[in-house]
């Protein structure tokens, strides 16, 4: 512990002597924490600091840790029933916790002292972020360049790009009338034909236009459509009234 804490002389009702001895008696359970005047310890420490030329921050930090631990132990003994506000540790366990904190504080303080000594020992040494002055200087060499080739490359970059033709992406729809006349001519030669067979080999756009022409013929009553099941071939035939008229004429 720092000298300002270890050698702090206390004159209390239940104890008289250095602060270090007080802590030892508390840890050995030879002195009841309830009998300790914490306020008197704080007043004595503040008076000791006021008498010094400068404030020892390390001593202040250590004193706060020790006084807080003593207050916790004393509170556990004075208010054992306040479980909601205090921990469930017994006074003996609290004393062990205080000893553990003191040991951990001493280790941290020793580590801080060791780092302080290392910093003082390395104070005259400096480091640099750049390469060492004796390191070989690497000369970056560029490959042989041809100015004319560079000029040609720059001219190619400056030339506007050719216009991209989108003509191949345009959809060309054949006229519906073309398929109307085609289907009418087919029905004049045959009484029935399959739509799938007629449009086989055509593009999807041409097949779609041919189907529209077929629907137009069905709307006008020029053809009859039949399909055995969904997605089956569509059979196209002459209208029923035309068949009846031809059968009547032949019968007569």
Residues 7 and 116 occupy one common structural domain: yes
* 153 or 100, higher pLDDT: 153
Between 64 and 88, residue with greater pLDDT: 64
- 157 domain-assigned: no
Query: Same domain for 178 and 93?
Result: no
- In this structure, are residues 206 and 243 in contact, taking their beta carbons and an 8 Å threshold? no
Please, which pLDDT band fits residue 236 given cuts at 50, 70 and 90? Answer: very high
Q: Tokens in use for 119?
A: 């910093």
183 and 109 both lie in a single domain: no
Residue 166: inside a domain: no
Phi, psi of 9 (to 5 degrees): -85, 130
Predicted model pTM: 0.33
In this structure, is residue 139 part of a structural domain?
Answer: no
Q: How confident is the model at residue 84 (pLDDT cuts 50, 70, 90)?
A: very low
170-180: pLDDT as tens digits = 667 788 898 99
25 lies in a domain? yes
Domain limits at 117?
3-121
* Mean pLDDT (the chain, rounded): 77
Pairwise pLDDT comparison (77 vs 228), residue with the higher score: 228
Banded pLDDT at 167 (limits 50, 70, 90) = confident
The residue length of the chain stands at: 252
| pLDDT tens figures, 102-131 | 777 778 888 888 888 888 887 777 766 666
The residue out of 121, 154, 183 marking a domain boundary is 121
Provide the b/e sequence for 59-73 (b: ≥16 CB within 10 Å). bbebbebbbebbebb
CATH number at residue 187: 1.10.10.580
In a domain, 45, yes or no: yes
Decide if 154 is inside a domain. no
Average pLDDT, integer, range 176-193: 90
Q: Which among 29-43, 48-62, 111-125, 191-205 has the top mean pLDDT?
A: 191-205
Is there a domain that residue 50 lies in? Answer: yes
Smallest Cα–Cα separation from 93: which of 71, 68, 76?
76
Residues 106 and 46 in one domain: yes
101 with 196, same domain: the answer is no
Q: Is 104 in the same domain as 177?
A: no
**In a shared domain, residues 107 and 215:** no
Residue 86 has pLDDT above 60, yes or no: no
Q: 79, 95, 121 — which closes off a domain?
A: 121
Q: Which of 58-72, 175-189, 196-210 is the least confident region?
A: 58-72
Asked whether residue 96 falls in the same domain as residue 13, the answer is: yes
Task: Say if residue 82 is in the same domain as residue 177.
Answer: no
CA separation for the pair 221, 82 (Å, rounded): 100
Among residues 96, 121, 146, the one where a domain terminates is 121
End-to-end CA distance of the chain: 136
Is residue 112 domain-shared with residue 180, that is, in the same domain? Answer: no
Q: Tell whether 105 and 199 lie within a shared domain.
A: no
Distance of CA 242 to the CA centre of its chain: 75
Q: How many domains does the chain have?
A: 2
**In terms of DSSP bridges, do strands 16-18 and 235-237 run parallel, antiparallel, or are they unpaired?**
unpaired
Q: What are phi and psi of 236, to 5 degrees?
A: -110, 130
Same domain flag for 198 and 109: no
Residue 51 in domain: yes
């Amino acid at each position: 512990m720092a000298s300002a804490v270890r050698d702090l002389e206390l004159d209390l009702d239940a104890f008289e002597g250095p602060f270090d001895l007080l802590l030892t008696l508390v840890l050995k359970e030879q002195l009841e924490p309830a009998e300790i005047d914490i306020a008197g310890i704080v007043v004595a420490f503040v008076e000791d600091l006021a008498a010094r030329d400068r404030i020892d921050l390390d001593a202040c930090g250590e004193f706060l840790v020790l006084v807080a631990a003593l207050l916790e132990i004393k509170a556990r003994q004075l208010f054992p029933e306040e479980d909601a506000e205090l921990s469930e540790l017994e006074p003996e366990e609290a004393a062990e916790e205080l000893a553990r904190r003191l040991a951990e504080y001493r280790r941290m303080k020793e580590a801080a002292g060791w780092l302080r000594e290392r910093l003082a020992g390395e104070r005259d040494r400096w480091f640099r972020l750049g390469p060492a002055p004796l390191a070989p200087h690497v000369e970056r060499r560029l490959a042989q360049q041809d100015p004319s080739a560079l000029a040609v490359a720059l001219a190619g970059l400056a030339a506007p790009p050719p216009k991209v033709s989108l003509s191949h992406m345009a959809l060309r729809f054949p006229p519906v009338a073309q398929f109307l006349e085609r289907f009418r001519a087919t029905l004049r030669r045959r009484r029935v034909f399959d739509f799938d067979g007629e449009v086989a080999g055509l593009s999807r756009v041409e097949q779609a236009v041919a189907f529209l022409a077929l629907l137009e013929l069905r709307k006008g009553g020029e053809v009859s459509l039949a399909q055995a099941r969904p997605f089956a071939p569509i059979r196209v035939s002459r209208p029923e009234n035309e068949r009846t008229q031809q059968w009547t004429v032949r019968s007569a």
